[in-house]
A and B are shown apart, each in its own frame.
Chain A
Amino acid sequence: MKIIVYLTVLIFITSFKLSAQEKYTLSGTIKDSTTGETLIGVKIRPLELSGIGAVCNEYGFYSLTLPAGTYTFSVSYPTYKEFQRKITLTENKTLNINLSASVQDLLEVEVSAIKKDGNVTDAQMGVEKIDMNEINKIPVIFGEKDIVKTLQLLPGVKSAGEGNSGFFVRGGAADQNLILLDEAPVYNASHLLGFFSTFNSDVIKTATLYKGTQPAQYGGRLASVLDIKMNEGNSKRLGMSGGIGLIASRLTVEAPIVKDKGSFLIAGRRTYADLFLKLSNDQNLRDTKLFFYDLNTKLNYKFGEKDRVFLSGYFGRDVLGLADFGISWGNATGTARWNHIVNSKLFSNTSFIVSNYQYDISIASDDVEINIGSTLQDYNLKQEFQYFPNSRNKWTFGLNAIYHGVVPGEVTGNENSGVNNEKQPSKLGLENAMYVSNEWSINEKFNILYGLRGTSFSVLGNGENSFRFNEAGEITDTTVYSQNEFAKTYVNVEPRIFMSYIYSKSASIKGGYARNVQNLHLISNTVSTSPTDVWLPTTINVKPEISDQVSLGWFKNFKQNKYEFSSEIYYKWMQNQIDYRNGANTQANELLEGELLYGVGRAYGIEFLLKKKTGKFTGWIGYTLSRTEKKIDQINNNEWYLARQDRLHDLSVVGIYDFNKKWTASAAFVYSTGNAVTFPTGKYTIDEEVVFVYSSRNGDRMPDYHRLDLALTYNIAKRKRFESSWSLSIYNAYARRNAYLIEFEENPNDANKTQVVQTTLFRIVPTVTYNFKF
C-alpha cells in the first residue's frame, strides 16, 4: 500500500512541474508506408529545440508535449527517407506518419542506428538490441538464421554449448532468462535438443536483451529478459517470403484483412530430414521420426483511431521417435492485446496471455502402452499505462497477475502395461506484480531511469499433501491445503535505478542497480538442458530466488557515431539458488523438493564492445572477463566453487563486408575458456567394473573453445517486387576439434588401462540456403 502512496506522490511531483506557458501535445503513430507495420523506437524531434524529442513505444505510438509554437518536426530512421513537417502547435494535435523506404544506394544505408547516439545518452544500460538486418548476414550453423545465436556473439552473453541455442547472461543459468514472444513467456526456447531456437527470424520485428538491468515493467527472472516482438503483417498488400535450407524450410504469408485497418500474418517452419528416412530400406529407419515445426500467427485490427486489437499465437513441436519409443515436446503461447489511446498523453495496453509447455514420452510395443508427461500452464493478465506528461518524462506503470499451474509428472498405462496411472499433484501459484517506472531526462547532461516493482507470490494448495523437509531431505511435516487455498505468500520489493551522465558530446558514464526476483525454477543436472527438465514454482520449501546487481559503464562514440565503444563492469549477488542433492531422482518424483539443496551465488565481470555501424564494412569485437561462483549447502564442503558456465575469457569478432548490391561476405570468430567441469581424480573397482572417483565439483576445465564461421550471400537483382538470395555458409571453417564431451572409459585394446575420449560434434559444416520475398 505504501508503494502506491509513494508512486502517486512521485507522479504528482513530475506532473506539477508545469510552467506558466501553455503546452500542447502532438501524438500519433509511425508506420512503414509499404507494409503498414508500426515502427518501434523511432525518434521524433522538433528541430528548433535541441535535446528534446519523443521515442515511439512498442506499438509505434509517440506523444510529445511542447510549449505553444511553430516547429519543424523531423523523423529519421535508418533505411527510411527523412520525414519533415512544419506544424503550428496551438492545440493538441494528432500526426500519424508513414515513413517510406530510402531509395539511397544500399551501401549508404546506415545499419543498426535507431537513435544514433542513444547508446550514449539513454540511462538504460546492460541492453543489447538485435538488428534484424545483421542476423541475415551472420554465418550460422545449418544456415538457419537465429536471433539467439546472434545474441551469443555479444559481450555478457554466452552460448550454452556447441551449436546450442541456450544462453547464459552475466553468470546466470539458462532458466534465469525470461524469453518473451509478444509478451508471452516461452519456457523451452529450443528445438532438436538445443540446436535451433524456437524463433523463426522471418517474422521477428525487434529483439531486445536486458542483462539483468530491465526496467520495472519486466520481472520474473534473475539474469535477463529477451523481449521479442513479432511483425504485425502487411496491411497494404499480400506479401510472401520464405527460404529453403538444408535442415528446414520457411514460408510466411501476410496480407491486409481490410486495407489500412487490419492485417494478418501466418508463418510456418518445418524440418524435413525425416522425409528422407522414408526412402530407407530399413524398416526401423522408416519408422524413425525426427522433426520440429513452428507456427506463428498474428492478427490485428484497428477500431477507429484510438483502439487496436492484436491476437498473436505461437505453436511449436518437436517429435523424436525410435521404434517403440517416442518423445515430443513443445510450447504454445497466445496473446490477446488491446491498445487504447486514452488521450494524447496516456496510452493503455491490456493483455491476456496464455503460455503452455509440455512434453510427452510414449513407450508402445505390441499390447503395452505407457505415457509419461508433464505440463506447465500460465494464465497472465496485464494492464499497463504509459504516460507522457511532458517532453522530458515518460512514466510506465501497471499491474500483472499470473496463475501458474505445473503438473510435474503424469504416468498413464493401458491395462497390459503393469503401470499404475498416477498424476502428481499440481503445483499451483499466483504471482502478482505492481510496477512504476520513470524515464526522466533531467537536463542535457543527466538522464535517469528509475522504478519500483512490487511482487508477491502465493503458493496455492492443491488438495493433496504438502510436505516440509529438513536439511537432510526428510519429511518433517505434512499439511493438506485445499484447492487454491493460500499456503504461503512471499512479498518482494524490487528497486531499479539507472543514471547516465553525458560529460561530452559523445561520451557518458552510467551507473545502476537492479533487484530481480524469480519464482519459477528449472534445475537441470545434465550437460545440456533436456526437454524433460521440470519447472518448479516457488513452494512452501523453495523460496523465491533473488539477485542484486550493480553496474557501472563507460560509453563513447567516435567519428559521428560511426564507431561505438562501451565497457560495463558488474557485480551480482544471488540468494536462494537451487541445486540437486547427489543421487536425486528428478523424474516424476513426488518428493522432489526433498532432493533440493540451497545456497548463494555471485557473478562479476567486465564487458567491452567496439562496434562499427556504418559503411561497407560493419561488425564488432566483444570481450568479457568474468567469474561465476556458487556456494550450496552440502556441496563441496559448503565452500565456494565455480559454476559450470564460468568462463574467464569470452571473445567474439564479427565482420560483415558489403562488396556491392549483390555480394556480401561475413565472418565470425569466437574464443572462450572451457566450462568448469568435474573430472575423475582416481579410480577403483566394484562389481567387476572400473569406477571413477570424483573429489570436488567443477574443479576442472574443458579445453578452450574456438571456431571461425564464414558466409557469402548473393542477392539476385530485384525483379518487380521479387527479391531472392543464395547464401553459402561454413560452420567451423578450420575444422577445429572442439570438445563437446570428455569421457573416461576402459581402453578397449588393453583392459588394464583407462583412457580419455573426446567427442567433437561438428567439424566443417557447409550449408546452402535460398531465401525469397515478394
Chain B
Amino acid sequence: MNKVLILTALFLIGTVSCTKVIDLELKESDSQIVLKGEVNSGELIHSLSITKSVAFNQDNVFPGVIGATVTLTDDQGNSETLADLGDGNYKTVNFLAVVGRTYTFKVVAEGETFVSSSTIPALVPLLGIDFIPSSFFGSTGNIIVPKFLDPAGVKNSYVFYFYNADSLDQNSGYIFANDDFADGQLNQQPFFGNWSPESGDSVIYEMYGIDTPVFVYYFSFEQNTSGNSGAPANPVSNWSNNALGYFTAQNFQSFSALVP
C-alpha cells in the first residue's frame, strides 16, 4: 500500500523509477517442513500436504514428503489415519466434518511430530452477490459485493474466492477479511481480488468461515510478503514445532451468477 502510494506519487511528479534484475548472494537455511491441512464442513474427504522448502536459487520444485504418519481427530473422539498418496499428499476416506467441532492433525514426518488444531465456525449464510460496474484508470469491470449478515457480538473471519466458471485461471485469489469494523452489519463492502469479471461472465463465488488463528495466518502472510515490510518474517503458523504452513477447518458455501 505504502509502496503503491510512493510510486504513484513519484510517477505524478514526473520521475520514473527503474527496476533491474540483479544477482544477489543469499544465505541458505536448512530445508524446512511445510504443512497445509484443510478440513471442510459437510465433506468426508480431507487432505494434508507435506512438502519441504528449497534454496532460493534452486528451481521451483518442492519435494513432497512420503512415509509420514498423519492422523485426524475431532473433539468427539472420532479419528482416522490418512492414506499416503505417495506424492506428499495425504487424504481421509470417510471422516464427516461438522460445524462447531475442533479438528486436530498430528503429523509424524522425518522423525519429528507436528500438531495443529482448528475449529469450524458457525455458518454465516451467503444470501447472494451484487455486481457494481466500475472503471479504474481506463479498465472496466465489475466489483462484487457479497450479501451476508455478520452475527453481532462474535468475532468472525472470512475468506472469499471467486472465479470464472469457464476459465479457472481468471480468479480473485484468496481474499481474507474479518468483522473488526462491521460487527453485526449487513455486508456492503466489496472485496477486491486479482480479477474483475465483465458483463456476460459466469461467476462462482465461494465464501469460507475460518477461525481466528487462520485469519492471523492470512493477515501475517500478506503483511510479510508485501515487499514493504520493515522486517519480513514467516507468517504466524498454527502448527507446533516451527513448521511452516497452516491448517484450516472451515465452513464453505458458494453462489453462482451471471454478470448482467
Flag if A741 contacts B3 (CB, 8 Å): yes
| A585 on the B face (CB < 8 A) | yes
Residue A465 interfacial (CB < 8 Å): no
Q: CB-CB < 8 A to A323: which residues of B?
A: 136-137
By a CB distance below 8 angstroms, the chain B residues around A678 are 231-233
Q: A682 with B34: in contact, given A527-B2, A583-B235 (CB under 8 Å)?
A: no
* B232 lies within 8 A of A681 (CB): no
Nearest-neighbour CB distance to chain B for A275, whole angstroms, equals: 11
Return chain A residues, CB-CB under 8 Å to B18: 737, 759-760, 763
Asked whether any CB of chain B lies closer than 8 Å to the CB of A23, the reply is no
B59 part of interface (Cβ distance < 8 Å): yes
Kindly state the separation between the CA atoms of A583 and B238 in the bound complex, as whole angstroms.
13
Q: Residue on A with the closest CB to B234?
A: A694
- Closest A residue to B185 by CB, please name it: A418
Give every chain A residue within 8 A of B223 (Cβ-Cβ).
Answer: 525, 583
- Residues of chain A within 8 A (CB-CB) of B59 are 752-753
Chain A 759-770 per-residue mask, 1 if CB under 8 angstroms from chain B, else 0:
111110100000
**Is A757 part of the contact surface with B, judged by Cβ < 8 Å?**
yes
The chain B residue sitting closest to A419, CB to CB, is: B181
Do B181 and A420 touch across chains, with their CB atoms under 8 A apart? yes
Given the complex, which residues of A lie within 8 Å of B2, measured CB to CB?
Answer: 193, 526-528, 530
Contact B12 A274 (CB under 8 A): yes
Q: Are B182 and A681 in contact (CB under 8 A)?
A: no
B78 sits at the interface (CB 8 A): no
| Given A583-B235, A680-B56, A193 contacting B31 (CB threshold 8 A) | no
The chain A residue sitting closest to B132, CB to CB, is A366
Residues of chain A lying within 8 A (CB to CB) of residue B26: 679-681, 700
Count of chain A residues with Cβ under 8 Å from any Cβ of B?
80
User: Which of B99-107, B119-127, B186-194 faces chain A?
Assistant: B186-194
Residue of A with least CB distance to B27: A681
**Is A482 engaged at the interface, CB distance under 8 Å to the other chain?**
no
Whether A758 touches B220, Cβ cut-off 8 Å, given contacts A684-B51, A693-B32, is: no
Take A290-B12, A684-B34 as given contacts and tell me if A368 and B188 are in contact as well, using a CB distance cutoff of 8 Å. Answer: yes
A682-B32 CB under 8 A given contacts A528-B2, A737-B20, A758-B22 = yes
Q: Which residue of A lies closest to B6 (CB)?
A: A193
Q: How far is the CA of A588 from the CA of B15 in the complex (A)?
A: 33
Q: Complex formed: what's the CA distance from A624 to B27 in Å?
A: 28
**Closest chain A CB from B254 CB (angstroms):** 18
Q: Which residues of A contact B184 (CB under 8 A)?
A: 420
- Measured CB to CB, the nearest residue on chain A to B24 is A756
Asked if A89 CB lies within 8 Å of chain B CBs, one says no
How many pairs of A and B residues are in contact by the CB < 8 Å rule?
Answer: 213
Asked whether B230 is an interface residue with its Cβ less than 8 Å from the other chain, the reply is yes
For B138, give its contact among A284, A419, A682 (CB under 8 Å). A284
Q: Which residues of A from 257 to 305 have beta carbons under 8 Å from B?
A: 271, 273-274, 277, 282, 284, 288, 290
Taking a contact as CB atoms under 8 Å apart, the answer to whether B235 and A687 are in contact is no
Residues of B within 8 A of A527 (CB): 2-3, 228-230
- Are the C-beta atoms of B136 and A418 separated by less than 8 Å? no
- Asked if A695 and B185 sit within 8 Å, CB to CB, the answer is no
- Point out the residue from A284, A679, A740 that lies within 8 Å of B17, measured CB to CB: A740
B19 sits at the interface (CB 8 A):
yes
Q: What residues on B are CB-neighbors of A755 within 8 Å?
A: 21
Neighbouring B residues of A476 by C-beta, 8 Å: none
Say yes or no: A756 contacts B22, CB within 8 Å: yes
Q: Are A644 and B230 in contact (CB under 8 A)?
A: yes
Contact A417 B188 (CB under 8 A): yes
Q: Does B9 belong to the interface (CB within 8 Å)?
A: yes
Docked complex: A651-678 residues within 8 A CB-CB of B = 678
Q: Tell me whether B62 and A743 are in contact (CB under 8 A).
A: no
Q: Select which of B13, B15, B56, B135 is within 8 A of A754 by beta carbon.
A: B56
Quick check: B13 and A247 within 8 Å, CB to CB? yes
Whether the Cβ atoms of B232 and A694 lie closer than 8 Å is yes
Residues in chain B near residue A475, CB distance under 8 A = none
Contacts of B1-57 to chain A: CB distance below 8 A:
2-3, 5-6, 8-10, 12-15, 17-24, 26-29, 31-32, 34, 36, 51-57
**B54 touching A687, Cβ below 8 Å:** no
B204 interface hit (Cβ, 8 Å): no
Q: Is the CB of A418 within 8 A of B22?
A: no
Which chain B residues lie closer than 8 Å to A18 at the CB level?
none
Closest to B33 in A: A684
Q: A526 contacts B9, CB within 8 Å?
A: no
> Which residues of chain A have C-beta atoms less than 8 A from B134's C-beta?
365
Whether B60 and A690, one on each chain, are in contact in the complex, defined by CB atoms closer than 8 angstroms, is yes
| B53, B233, B246: the one within 8 Å of A697 (CB) | B233
B188 close to A582 (CB less than 8 A): no
Q: Is the CB of B60 within 8 A of A284?
A: no
Once bound together, how far apart are the Cα atoms of A401 and B55, in whole Å? 56
B216 interface contact, C-beta 8 A: yes
Given the complex, which residues of B lie within 8 Å of A582, measured CB to CB? 220, 224, 233-234, 236
Asked whether, in the complex, the Cβ of B224 is within 8 Å of the Cβ of A524, the reply is no
CA distance A687 to B51 in the complex (A): 12
The distance in angstroms between the C-alpha atoms of A418 and B146, with both chains bound, is 12
Do B228 and A685 touch (CB < 8 A)? no
B255 located at the interface, meaning its Cβ lies under 8 Å from any Cβ of chain A in the complex:
no
Contacting residues, chain B, for A763 (C-beta < 8 A): 18
- 5 A-B pairs, CB-CB below 8 angstroms? A282-B137, A290-B8, A320-B8, A680-B26, A686-B246
Give 8 nearest A-B pairs by CB, closest first: A583-B220, A418-B188, A681-B29, A684-B53, A583-B236, A682-B53, A684-B34, A695-B29
Seen from chain B, the residues whose Cβ lies within 8 Å of a Cβ on chain A are 2-3, 5-6, 8-10, 12-15, 17-24, 26-29, 31-32, 34, 36, 51-57, 59-62, 132, 134-138, 174, 180-189, 216, 219-221, 223-225, 227-236, 244-246
